[in-house]
Amino acid sequence: MSRNDEIAAHLSEFADLLEATGVEYKPNAYRRAAENVADHPAPVEALAREGPDAVAEIDRVGDAIAAKVVEYVETGTIAELEELREEMPVDIVALTRVEGVGPKTVGTLYRERGITTLDELEAAAEAGEIRSVKGFGAKTEGNILDGIEFAREASERTRLGDARPVADDALAHLAAHDAVAKAEVCGSIRRWKATIGDVDVLVASDETEAVVEAFTDWGGADAVIEAGTIKASVRAAGTRVDLRVVDVTEFGAALQYFTGSKEHNVAVRNRAIDRGLKVNEYGVFDVSAVEDADGDDPDDDDPDVNDPDGDGPNGDQRVGERIAGETEPGVYEALGMEHVPPELREDTGEVEAAADDGDGTLPALIEEGDVRGDLHTHTDWSDGGFSIEEMVTAAADRGHDFHAVTDHAAGPGILGNVGLGEDEIQAQAEAVADVADDAPIEVFHGIEANIDADGAITTDDATLAELDLVVASPHSALDVDTDAATERLVRAVEHPEVDILGHPTGRIINSREGMAPDMERIAEAAAAADTAIEVNANPARLDADGTAVRAAIEVGATIAINTDAHTPREFEHVRYGVHTARRGWAERADVLNARSPAELRAFFR
Ligand code: DGT
Ligand code: CA
Ligand code: CA
Ligand code: ZN
C-alpha cells in the first residue's frame, strides 16, 4: 500500500464507521475524498507537512477532512476515528467484504446482536439469529452465510495490484545491496496470480546474513516476523514477504522450485524420475548411477509422497552427478524442456508442451511491449478524472499508437448522471474529433455501453452505429445463475454494434464474486460475431481471468487488454492485464491491442 493509499484507507474506515453509527451524507464526502487522496499523483504526506491548506487543494477534500489528513500524518492516528473504533469495535473492513453487508448493516448487527467479526457473523447466521433482526429475514441470512467464505478468503489473500508494488520495492532494495548477486521474486507473484498469499523473494549471495540484515532493514517492512541466517519474513503493507538466500550456483534450481506451482513442480519432478534424474531446490542430479544413496529400498524414494522439499524421504539432497541448477533455463534444459514462462506453471498442459519429446509447443506469449494502445478508458465526461486531451496526451507520451475514449453511457448500474445519454454522446463526438485533429496518435471515439439483465444494450442502436467502437459491459444484476449469465452475455456479444465485451463477470476481487458464465459458449459466440473479449487490467478486476482467456482463445476468439483507466496513472495497470492474458496462453496474434490502427478500424467494421 502506498502512503496515499494508507491515508485513504483511514478516511474510508472513518466513513464506514460514521455510516455504521447512522450518520448520513458525511460518510460519502469522506469516501470521495479518500478516492482522490488515493489517486493523487504526488505524495499527500508532503502536502500534509505543508499544512491543511495544501491538502485542501486536492479536489473534494474540504477543510475538515484536510485537518484529519494532517493529524494522521503528524500523529499516526485520527482522534475521532479512535473514538468511533471504541464506540463500535467492529472489524468493518472484513465484515463489509461480505456481499450485501454494508456499513449500515454492520451497525445494525452490532447493536442488535453484538456482532464484531466474521466468525461471530457466521455463528449468528448459522444459529438463525439474524433473520429475526428487523429488516433482515431468512433470505438475507442465507445470502450472508453464502458470502462469508468468499469474504474470509478475501481477508487472507492480497490483490496482485497491491502485492506487486511491494514485491518490486523489496526487490529493488535488495538488488542495490553489494552482497546480492541475483534477486528475483518467485511463488504466485512471479506467476502473476490475481491474488497472492505471500510474496516470495529469492536472493543469490555468499554473504547470507548480510542479506538477511539488509532485508529486515528494508524501509517497506512494517514488522519483522522472523529472521534466521538464510531466511527471513517481514510484514509489509499488510502482506507477508518471505526471503530466502541461496548459493549462486543453486539459484536457478531454487528459483524453479520456489516459483511453483506445487502442481507444476510435481509434474516436472515426475518427468525427471522417468529419465533417471532428480530435481530439487539444489539442482538437477543424474541418479541413474546411484543405486540407492542411503542403503534402503530405492523405491521408497518417491518424491511425491511426504516429501515437501523434493529431496526424497531419505533426506539426501545432493546425490549423484549434478548436471544443472545455476540457471533456471538450464534446469528445464536438463529435463529436455523449453524454459516454461512462470505464468503457465499450473500443470495445465505446459509440461507436455515444453517437452522436446512431445507433440506440443509452448505458445509465444504476448508481451507488454506488443500493446500499442488502450481500447477502454474514461474521461471527465463520465467518472474519469481528466479531460479527453489529457488522456490522449498521456497515451501518446506512453508511446501508444492509438487511444479509445469510451466513457460510460447512461444505463443500469451507472449512478446518477455519470453516464452519457445519446445527445451527450453526440456532443462528445465533436470534442473527441477536435482533440483527434491535433493528436499525434489515432484517437477512436467509443462508449462503454451497459448490458441490461436480459443482455440488451441500453443505448440506441443509431447512436452506437455512429461510433468507432462499442465496449459493452455488465454493471448491474450480477447475482444471477450461470445459465442466465451465459445467455445474457451471448446476446450482448452478438449485438451487431458491440466490438468488445468489457469485464465479462463483473467481479471485484476480494469484494464481489460477479457472474460465473460459461466462457467457452460466450467465446464461441464472440468468435462468430467478431467481438473481442476483454481482459480488464484493473487489478481489482482482472476480468476475464487466465482460465477464461484460454477457453476463449481455444475457440478462436479475440482478446482485448484494456486498462479501463480513469486517470493517466492507471495506464500502468496494463502489465497486470498482459500477464493475466499470458496466464491464458495468449499470443500476440490473439490480442486486439497489438494491431495497427488500420487493422483495428477493419475489426470494428
Ligand atoms: P501463495 O503464496 O499462496 O499465493 O502461493 P505460492 O505458490 O506462492 O505458494 P507458497 O508461498 O506457499 O510457496 C512458494 C512456492 O514454493 C510454491 O509455489 C512451490 C514451492 N513449494 C512450497 N512448498 C512446497 C511443497 O510442499 N511442495 C512443493 N513441491 N513445492 C512447494
Ligand atoms: Ca507465495
Ligand atoms: Ca511463501
Ligand atoms: Zn470502464
- The phi and psi torsions of 410 (rounded to 5 degrees) equal -65, 145
Ligand 1, closest atom to CA 193? 4
Is 47 in the same domain as 177? no
Hey, whose CA ends up nearest to atom 26 of ligand 1?
308
Q: Is residue 362 part of a domain?
A: no
Query: Are the C-beta atoms of residues 264 and 305 closer than 8 Å to each other?
Result: no
Q: Is residue 290 part of a domain?
A: yes
Cα–Cα distance, 442 to 467 (Å, whole number)? 14
Range of the domain at 529: 368-604
Is 143 in the same domain as 186? no
Domain end position, chosen among 105, 139, 156: 156
Is 195 in the same domain as 121? no
Is 275 in the same domain as 383? no
Q: Is residue 363 part of a domain?
A: no
* Exposure on the CB side of residue 261, measured as CA atoms within 13 A: 17
Is 386 in the same domain as 431? yes
pLDDT digits (tens, 9 = 90+) for 59-82: 999 999 999 999 999 998 899 999
Amino acid found at 16: D
Q: How many domains does the chain have?
A: 4
pLDDT digits (tens, 9 = 90+) for 400-439: 999 999 999 999 998 878 999 999 999 999 999 999 999 9
Starting at the edge strand found earlier in the chain, the sheet holding 199-204 runs: 182-186, 199-204, 239-246, 231-236, 223-227
Hey, whose CA ends up nearest to atom 9 of ligand 1?
187
Helix (H, G, I), strand (E, B) or coil at 127: coil
Query: Are the C-beta atoms of residues 525 and 488 closer than 8 Å to each other?
Result: no
Hey, whose CA ends up nearest to atom 5 of ligand 1?
188
Show the DSSP H helices in 21-102 as ranges: 26-39, 44-50, 52-55, 63-75, 79-87, 92-95
Q: Measuring CA to CA, which residue among 234, 237, 235, 256 is closest to residue 246?
A: 256
Q: Which helix (H) or strand (E) segment is 160 a member of?
A: helix 160-175
Is 556 in the same domain as 427? yes
The whole-model pTM stands at 0.83
- How many CB atoms are closer than 10 A to CB 224? 15
Give the environment of ion ligand 3: residues with CB less than 5 A: 198, 200, 242
- Taking the centre of ligand 3 as the mean of its atom positions, its distance from the CA of residue 201, in whole angstroms, is 9
Burial 182-220, CB ≥16 within 10 A → b, else e: bbbbbbbbbbbbbbbebbbbbbbbeebeebbebbbebeb
- Taking the centre of ligand 4 as the mean of its atom positions, its distance from the CA of residue 55, in whole angstroms, is 28
Proximal ligand: closest to the CA of 419: 4
- The phi and psi torsions of 155 (rounded to 5 degrees) equal -75, -20
Domain end position, chosen among 189, 212, 246: 246
Q: Best substitution site from 199, 200, 278 to test ligand 1's pocket, by max atoms within 8 Å of Cβ? A: 200
Q: Give the model's pLDDT for residue 316.
A: 66
Q: Place 300 in a pLDDT band, splitting at 50, 70 and 90.
A: very low
Question: Any residues with Cβ below 6 Å from ligand 1, and which?
Answer: 187-188, 193, 196-198, 200, 257-258, 260-262, 265, 308, 310
Q: Is residue 480 part of a domain?
A: yes
Query: Are the C-beta atoms of residues 286 and 274 closer than 8 Å to each other?
Result: no
Q: Best substitution site from 160, 184, 188, 192 to test ligand 1's pocket, by max atoms within 8 Å of Cβ? A: 188
Q: Best substitution site from 262, 305, 306 to test ligand 1's pocket, by max atoms within 8 Å of Cβ? A: 262
148-160: average pLDDT: 86
Is 391 in the same domain as 493? yes
CATH of the domain at 582: 3.20.20.140
Q: Is residue 360 part of a domain?
A: no
Cα–Cα distance, 530 to 68 (Å, whole number)? 52
Q: Is residue 361 part of a domain?
A: no
Q: Place 318 in a pLDDT band, splitting at 50, 70 and 90.
A: confident
Give the environment of ion ligand 2: residues with CB less than 5 A: 187-188, 198, 200
Q: Which helix (H) or strand (E) segment is 397 a member of?
A: helix 388-397
- Taking the centre of ligand 2 as the mean of its atom positions, its distance from the CA of residue 342, in whole angstroms, is 13
249-269: average pLDDT: 98
- Taking the centre of ligand 3 as the mean of its atom positions, its distance from the CA of residue 190, in whole angstroms, is 12
Q: C-alpha cell of 51?
A: 499544512
Is 69 in the same domain as 183? no
Query: Are the C-beta atoms of residues 504 and 548 closer than 8 Å to each other?
Result: yes
* Exposure on the CB side of residue 379, measured as CA atoms within 13 A: 25
Is 121 in the same domain as 177? no
Q: Give the model's pLDDT for residue 2.
A: 65
Is 421 in the same domain as 522? yes
- How many CB atoms are closer than 10 A to CB 476? 15
CATH of the domain at 174: 3.30.460.10
Is 383 in the same domain as 514? yes
pLDDT digits (tens, 9 = 90+) for 559-578: 999 999 999 999 999 999 99
Is 174 in the same domain as 213? yes
Which DSSP letter does residue 341 get? Answer: P
Domain end position, chosen among 224, 246, 268: 246
Strand-strand pairing, 195-196 and 158-159: antiparallel
CATH of the domain at 303: 3.30.210.10
